[in-house]
């Protein structure tokens, strides 16, 4: 077993955090555009792709077209805008509002980046940083919950691959898909464990091996923000679990790693 020195440990933590920021947090732009009318109006006419390139870290491509947003892993094909980050830590500081990206391409779009895109990311931050007063608003509660659910799902593959405890938990999960849904008509996400790989997606898969269902939006919000302990929520019937419990146990251990990286 290789013992990590503290410096390397911190570097790895930054790398994992960068993966989460790009592939789980920034991924929320898709839902924000689809479910927040103000954001939908803002991006309605955008036709642009933005590459996020992190030196020694992950890459992502954020594309806006026909009022939709997609956040994909990897490089963009000929993006008009490239945002460069000198390290995973640089990206993470930018996501916390403590640093700026370095535009490598798209100088003609500087105005767009500074004004329009910043408006979008501010909107995302607004919905991802709840407080008690904001959560009283039904639209805010639902969108914050939707984004939190999505963040959780898309964080799982990253943590299962890179986080030491996540890796251990993923290794014990076995094969199968878990559907996570907010009842009755709320959103759903799924996480598929198969042969030591993990994939996440929106919606439900057919014939899942396990289910995790939240009674309503408030229960889901409390659950994913660690305001209730899962055992109590399950015992009281607020959260319903079914199917292959070891899959859910592994998933739960991985989800519990999120606060270690994202506040």
Partner 1 sequence: MKTYTFNASQNFFKRAAKVIPCGIYGHMSPAPLVPATAYPFYAAKAKGSKFWDVDGNEFIDYMCAYGPMVLGYNHEKVDSAAIKQIQSANCVTAPTPLMVELAECLVDLIPRADWAFFAKNGGDVTGYALMVARAATGRKKIVMVEGGYHGVAPWAQPPGSHGTMEDDSRNIIRIGWNDTAGFERVVNENDGEVAGFIATPYHHPTFADSEMPAEGYWQTIETLCKRKGIVLIVDDVRCGFRLDLRGSHEHFGFKPDLICFSKAMGNGYPISALVGTESLKSDASKVFHTGSFWFAAAPMAAALASLEELKRINGPAIMAEKGKKLLDGMVAIAKDYGLELKVSGHPSMPYLRITNDESLMLHQDWCGECTKRGAYFTSHHNWFISTAHSDEDIQRTWDIATDALQATKKAYGF
Judged by CB under 8 A, does residue 230 bind partner 1? yes
Interface stretch with partner 1, choices 99-107, 122-130, 138-146, 244-252 (CB under 8 A): 244-252
Q: Which of 43, 61, 253, 258 binds partner 1 (CB under 8 A)?
A: 253
Distance of CA 28 to the CA centre of its chain: 6
72 part of the interface to partner 1, by CB under 8 A: no
Q: Which lies closer to partner 1 via its Cβ, residue 118 or residue 236? A: 236
Q: Which is nearer to partner 1, 52 or 223 (CB)?
A: 223
Enter the tokens of residue 85: 């980050």
Give the span between the Cα atoms of 169 and 165, in whole angstroms: 6
Q: Which of 97, 137, 245, 259 binds partner 1 (CB under 8 A)?
A: 245
Report how far residue 165's alpha carbon sits from residue 132's, in angstroms, rounded to the nearest whole number: 32
Interface with partner 1, residue 235, by CB under 8 A: yes
- Kindly state whether residue 240 participates in binding partner 1, applying the rule CB under 8 A: yes
Question: Residues 99, 135, 141, 165: which binds partner 1 (CB under 8 A)?
Answer: 165
229 is an interface residue for partner 1 by CB under 8 A: yes
Q: How far is the CB of 167 from partner 1 (least distance, A)?
A: 8
Binding to partner 1 by residue 141, rule CB under 8 A? no
Residue 195-224 contact track with partner 1, rule CB under 8 A, x = bound: ------------xxxxx-------------
Q: Which of 172, 194, 196, 259 binds partner 1 (CB under 8 A)?
A: 172
For the bound state, the minimum distance from the C-beta of residue 12 to partner 1, rounded and expressed in Å, comes to 14
**Choice from 176, 182, 192, 224 touching partner 1 (CB under 8 A):** 176
Q: Which residues of 142-154 are buried (b: 16+ CB within 10 A; e: fewer)?
A: bbbbbbbbbbbbb
d(CA 230, CA 126): 26
For the chain, the residue count is 263
The C-alpha atoms of residue 25 and residue 156 are separated, in whole angstroms, by: 12
Residue closer to partner 1 by CB (options 57, 166) is: 166
Select the span of 87-95, 142-150, 151-159, 227-235 touching partner 1 (CB under 8 A). 227-235
Stretch that binds partner 1, among 12-20, 30-38, 94-102, 161-169 (CB under 8 A): 161-169
- Contact positions vs partner 1 (CB under 8 A): 1, 164-165, 168-169, 172, 176, 207-211, 229-232, 234-237, 240-246, 253, 256
């Amino acid at each position: 077993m290789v013992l990590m020195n503290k410096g390397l440990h911190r570097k790895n933590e930054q790398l994992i955090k960068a993966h989460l920021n790009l592939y789980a947090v920034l991924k929320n732009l898709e839902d924000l555009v689809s479910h927040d009318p103000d954001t939908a109006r803002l991006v309605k006419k955008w036709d642009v792709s933005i590459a996020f390139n992190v030196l020694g870290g992950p890459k992502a491509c954020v594309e806006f077209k026909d009022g939709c947003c997609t956040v994909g892993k990897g490089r963009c094909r000929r993006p008009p805008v490239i945002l460069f980050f000198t390290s995973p830590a640089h990206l993470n500081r930018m996501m916390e509002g403590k640093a700026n990206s370095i535009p490598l391409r798209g100088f003609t779009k500087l105005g767009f980046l500074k004004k329009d895109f910043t408006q979008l990311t501010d909107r995302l931050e607004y919905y991802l940083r709840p407080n008690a007063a904001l959560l009283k608003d039904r639209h805010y509660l639902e969108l914050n919950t939707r984004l939190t659910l999505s963040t959780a799902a898309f964080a799982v593959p990253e943590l299962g691959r890179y986080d030491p405890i996540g890796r251990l938990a993923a290794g014990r999960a076995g094969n199968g898909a878990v559907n996570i849904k907010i009842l009755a008509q709320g959103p759903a996400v799924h996480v598929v464990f198969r042969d030591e790989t993990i994939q996440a997606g929106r919606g439900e898969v057919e014939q899942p091996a396990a289910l995790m269902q939240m009674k309503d939006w408030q229960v889901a919000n409390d659950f994913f923000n660690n305001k209730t302990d899962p055992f109590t929520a399950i015992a009281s019937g607020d959260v319903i679990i079914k199917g292959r419990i070891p899959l859910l146990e592994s998933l739960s251990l991985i989800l519990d790693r999120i606060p270690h990286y994202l506040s």
